Amino acid sequence: MLDFAENENQRMIAQMIRDFGAKEITPFRREWDDQQHFPLSLFKKLGELGLMGVLIPTEYGGSGFGYHEYVTAILELSKLDPSIGLSMAAHNSLCSGHISLFGSEEQKRNYLPKLATCEWLGAWGLTEPNTGSDAGNMRTVAKREGEYFILNGTKSFITHGVSGDVAVVIARTGEVGDSHGMTAFIVEKGLPGFTGGKKLDKLGMRASETSEMVFEDCKVHESQVLGKVGEGFIQAMKVLDGGRISIAALSLGIAEGALEASIQYSKERQQFNKPISSFQGISFKLADMATRLEAAKLLTFKAADLKNRGENVKLAGAQAKYFASEAAVSVANDAVQIFGGYGFTKDYPVEKYYRDAKLCTIGEGTSEIQKIVIAREVLK
């Protein structure tokens, strides 16, 4: 039986983030967005609060929470600034999540405590300039030389590609297109031949760093292989199954933030001597927005519940990510419309939600890819 009741941990996390965010995020949101500034020191503070190791077991220095708490944390951060929610989610579910799922005991003890506190910031490298959805065709190669692998290639659209202290990188060790021809490596910053590349100038999510990672004859020891050689792509697909719940949660935060702002504004804004919320054109928009958000929440917490139970979340995660991300775009679009001319200015938060929402339909598998995953699952 699915249980959607909010637990005490969720309430505590939500309140903690609201109190923290009022001082540490909201006052700087505009500046970070305008300057595309990545506030690394903020993530160190989030690490102190236990939010950079939400899912990491307590034995490795993490908070040891489940997916309900994790979804709540991303949602609350994303209401304040979706960029911050995105970076926190990428660190937790992609880099830390991959090591937690597939790392050896030694690798976990080496890396998870540092990641859990954000002493080290994590990155995750799958996407390349020419292989986004078609990740199996990657060109970054790892050639074995004795007990080392030599990595060459470029990863793109990588969250924390420059600022990350450690990255999980998937590279080709076999033939192109062979799903068992790729391997995951843990690569530390400062290793010769591993550099952060060009930082991307983006439409939205501007306070979350997105850049290239470049490998030029980078020597990685075989002890840094995650799992077995040839398992990297299979591992990555499993990591993304959980990662899609993160993007669904991020979408919920955007939609909830945009809806709350719209409700408040529609009650305050007067036209024809009455609040615009009294006009059916506006109130029906709010009804649609609230219903889309609620449906997205149910799908997301259902996926989180299944993940907590250790069940397969391929279908549930894809459905939650697909529906919630499209809902966030739709709700943010309606929010701008409700605000009218003011919605098109940076003086109100909805234009930022509008810009930030679009990434949710693209990152960690586009909406089109989610439909392929969903269709395959329902046709089985």
Q: Which residues are catalytic?
A: 364
- What helix, strand, coil percent values describe the chain, rounded to 5? 55, 15, 25
**Partners of 144 in beta bridges:** 149
Q: Are 253 and 74 in contact (CB under 8 A)?
A: yes
Task: Using alpha carbons, select from 114, 122, 118, 121 the residue that is nearest to residue 48.
Answer: 118
Task: Using alpha carbons, select from 256, 203, 231 the residue that is nearest to residue 363.
Answer: 203
Q: CA 138, CA 154: separation in Å to the nearest integer?
A: 10
Where b means 16+ CB within 10 Å and e means fewer, 34-69 reads eebebbeebbeebbeebbbbbbbeeebbbbbbbbbb
The structure tokens listed for 335 are 């929010």
Q: How many residues does the chain have?
A: 380
The structure tokens listed for 171 are 């590279």
Q: CA 304, CA 153: separation in Å to the nearest integer?
A: 35
